[in-house]
Chain A
């Protein structure tokens, strides 16, 4: 045993040695240790440097509230993880930990200079100092801040671990496996309710499990012995699931909770392989019982942050749970009785202990117990200073004045190697408030306690403000019975004896003889904010707790202010002279403790990150070297490079081929909605801007859909398949939204219409063949079909067959070429495509992708909704007046086209742009100006589509320009970083304006 491992306990197996390294040096602990307890057993307190002043910091607690002891785990591997609390990580064989935030080393840290210049780094220092001169920002301030900001190092490789998500449903969820949680779970499970008990530690029992003290007796046993029996009883219950190493992350409305289970973090390195690391439980519980416990408060006095200053109950846990002494010459500094349990424990293990208490007396049993043992108590006293750089060596104490606002008498110096502090207890109300619960302030012991309002959750035990053992046991039994509507709790006749505290005193900021500006009384240990920072913020005019918090960064570190929030509030209230309850609290946001990104995303990584939609022809595209583009969730062929062509070269070749001979496009991704019903024509009349009643069966028509605000929403060709049957196509990305919007109108505005909508996007595959030779290819594919213009005119549709495969052929065009779209059931898509390629071989049919499609349609001036429009363009802005029916009384968006704003003549309007240098290709998104010298530069529009057209042998672009309709021929400029590009406004139809090619 090491010098500091002085006690054998049932929780740490001292026969099983575990070796680990800290900052490269090898140490030993035992199975059951945390990294913190193992380090302390080796006498190591100094773990890191503080964030701002780089002061030496040590382990301060034993749980998730730990502000100082944060480590880098597995440094220099792809498993490295920063900001791991030494108090929370279970020791395992091979663990490698190192300190953070110190350079070059933990024991000698250059940033410590900040500590010496700290009078010059007050709250808001960064805001105030780095404001000016502006030119300093990029080269000097930002690199400087980046160098000193941040905690730890991020891994540089993808996380190799496996994470999991799982849903769970239960009647009762109990959060917290301390005494009140254990009682609640037992009551619920024994009454046939499916119950889950979660506990973030590896062992149930909370702080009672090591409360080995004769002053705390339940049913004639010491409280820890009694609880041990209860736990073994609990494990026999069938309908109770106990999840240890599982911490609650979030408590959302309707009892939806997230909990993170550590599955393999505690296993030795060689046993972790392949197993799931963490699992995120998504729990929907009928009832929730929160038994989250309380966190001990520190005390705020000068130099209260040295290594060796530890919360009193944590000192007790290290001693009685882990068997580790945090020091051999201990002083306890307290304002309440609970720390006396630590004192008695230390005394019983033979460790020297003295007590400094700010109260004048206390008449409880536990205090009497300490006095009877002969422990020296300094009543009515406070610590005014501490000494020792890397570990506390001594303290100075003084007497408090009558009202506690000042100190009197002489300083008295006492030697020590550990100072245990206790400022009382803060109920963990985070879960309660996350779920929407409210809080009341309880004056007597200065705590926020839950206001019970919800029918669906309650708080029991110390998180509800019940601190005395008798209250906890009796109230838990009573409240849980009532909450679950149960008559027999099983704890109805229980007898509890415990020490009771009657004298209470709290001073948020303890007084001192030194002027405040020369003290460092830390409130937020992780972010290094002190009492004087908060007072400065108040002097500078900040009033709201939320503002003070952000200005001073108090409570904004990775511990989320678990130790600091109450003191910050208390000091604000005292300084501003208001009652604490009136200030409110800061908002407690999830997660309660930091979650790994892995736990959040679960299995949705790599190819499971998002859904991928592929057409039935996809494999052919892959085999033919297609480069793909994501369009919504679809993978669409972008271009098909041959012999190392780049995008530009491939697109030039593809678009030339489509216009010179034949091209083929996989158009399966276009949204398709099957519309049926006796009012289908009327319905289309209402949703499209143009008229539909007279469209003959077997005919196709292009339609434009607006939002009710008059802005273009979607477009596509709709075909009349039968009297009451249409097939609508939508843009690829807009399909789901269009269906949802149409359903909305149908169900809510026009329920009288007899219309049914079905999404059939995935049901059909589409091959679109275009080009002057397309008709010949169709003739080969369908030898019995007459494709003459008379028999099968543009904008019409016919059925046909290839062998037994039913095909719907639409003669429609998005490229301006003679063009046919062949639709088959998806399962025949690849076969159809291969047939088309074979039939087109003699015409060098060329597969083309989305980029060529975009170019070809731009040559024709066809818009792409979402590229040339952005939700602010009306059809009039797009110069598409021809498609807006004047005769129809109403359609979606019609009235908005006559609003004063949409009728303005200086709206951005669609135009063509030609660059003066025909080889210059504009950047899509580039801004357009008319006067270069005007200041400020007035941007009158932007480029929406831009290509080099191989068919015209020059650069073409579409753009939206204010008042563009009347600017044909006008010279404008596109200013770029290094030059201004001269452009001329043109017609936006660049190619075949007479539409001759469609009937070629």
Chain B
């Protein structure tokens, strides 16, 4: 079980958090103008990387804030956490 450094609360047990999947997938501003394929790309397609992955996490049983996390999915090493809207770090 990881220890996650919530950008608002500090280090807490993983059991307080839930993972929201891949980060930096922006909801299209004008969905009606997208083709089925383009919409499907947004809706369904995820990279599911083995290695360094940018993810969304929610401090569900804490401050309820969403934030981003850079995690190596092959060894669960957490490289960085940063707030929503902040620029992703270069890893």
Chain A interface (Cβ < 8 Å from any Cβ of B): 252-254, 256, 284, 436, 708-709, 740, 743-744, 747-749, 751, 889-890, 894-896, 898-900
Contact B39 A253 (CB under 8 A): no
> Is B54 engaged at the interface, CB distance under 8 Å to the other chain?
no
Residues of B near A747 (CB, < 8 A) are 65-66, 84
Shortest CB distance B71–A (Å): 11
- B84–A899 CB distance below 8 A: no
Which of chain B's residues has its CB closest to A253's CB?
A: B76
Nearest chain A residue, comparing its CB with the CB of B18: A740
**A-B residue pairs in contact (CB < 8 Å), sample of 5:** A252-B1, A740-B60, A740-B64, A747-B65, A894-B31
CA distance A895 to B37 in the complex (A): 12
**B27, A744: Cβ atoms closer than 8 Å:** no
Quick one: given A254-B2, A743-B66, A895-B31, are A748 and B56 in contact (CB under 8 Å)?
A: yes
- Whether B62 is near chain A, meaning CB under 8 Å from some CB there, is no
- The complex places the Cα of A188 from the Cα of B75 at a distance, in Å, of 27
A284 to B13, CA, bound (A): 10
Q: Is the CB of B49 closer than 8 A to any CB of chain A?
A: no
Task: Report the minimum CB–CB distance from A999 to chain B (whole Å).
Answer: 38
For B58, give its contact among A740, A889, A895, A899 (CB under 8 Å).
A740
Does B9 touch A at the CB level, under 8 Å?
no
Q: Which of A284, A436, A748 meets B76, CB within 8 Å?
A: A436
Looking at the assembled complex, report how far the CB atom of B54 sits from the nearest CB atom of chain A, in whole angstroms: 13
Do A436 and B85 touch across chains, with their CB atoms under 8 A apart?
no
In the complex, the answer to whether B66 meets A899 with C-beta atoms within 8 Å is no
Q: Given the complex of chains A and B, what is the CA–CA distance between A898 and B40 in angstroms?
A: 12
Which parts of B1-28 form the interface with A (CB within 8 Å)?
1-3, 14, 18, 20, 26-28
Q: Are A899 and B65 in contact (CB under 8 A)?
A: no
Q: Interface size bucket, B side?
A: 20 to 34
Instruction: Give Cα distance in the complex from A900 to B36, angstroms.
Output: 7
* Nearest residue, chain A, Cβ from B65: A747
Partner of A896, one of B39, B65, B85: B39
Does B91 sit at the interface, judged by CB under 8 A?
no
The A-contacting residues of B in range 22-60, CB under 8 angstroms, are: 26-28, 30-32, 34, 36, 39-40, 43, 56, 58, 60
Complex Cα–Cα for A709 and B75 (A): 32
What residues on B are CB-neighbors of A890 within 8 Å? Answer: 30-32
Known contacts A747-B65, A895-B31, A899-B36; 8 additional CB pairs below 8 A are A253-B1, A256-B1, A740-B18, A751-B85, A890-B31, A894-B31, A896-B43, A899-B39
Give Cα distance in the complex from A32 to B20, angstroms.
Answer: 54
A674 to chain B, nearest CB (A): 14
A709→B45 CA distance, assembly (Å): 13
- Inter-chain contacts of A740 with B (CB < 8 A): 18, 58, 60, 64
List the B side residues contacting A899 at CB < 8 Å: 36, 39-40
A744-B66, A747-B65, A748-B84 given; A895·B3 CB < 8 A: no
A841 to chain B, nearest CB (A): 45
Query: Is the beta-carbon distance between A743 and B64 smaller than 8 angstroms?
Result: yes
Neighbouring B residues of A898 by C-beta, 8 Å: 32
* Interchain CB contact under 8 A, A436 and B75: yes
* Assembled-state Cα–Cα distance A743/B20 (Å): 12
Contacts of B1 in A (CB 8 A): 252-254, 256
Cβ distance B26 to chain A, nearest Cβ, rounded Å: 8
Smallest CB separation, B65 vs chain A (Å): 7
Interface residues of B in 58-82 (CB under 8 A from A): 58, 60, 64-66, 75-76
What B residues does A284 contact at CB under 8 A? 3
| Chain B residues whose CB sits within 8 angstroms of the CB of A743 once the complex forms | 58, 64, 66
A357 to chain B, nearest CB (A): 43
A894 to B58, CA, bound (A): 25
Contacts of B31 in A (CB 8 A): 890, 894-895
Chain B residues near A253 (CB, 8 Å)? Answer: 1-2, 75-76
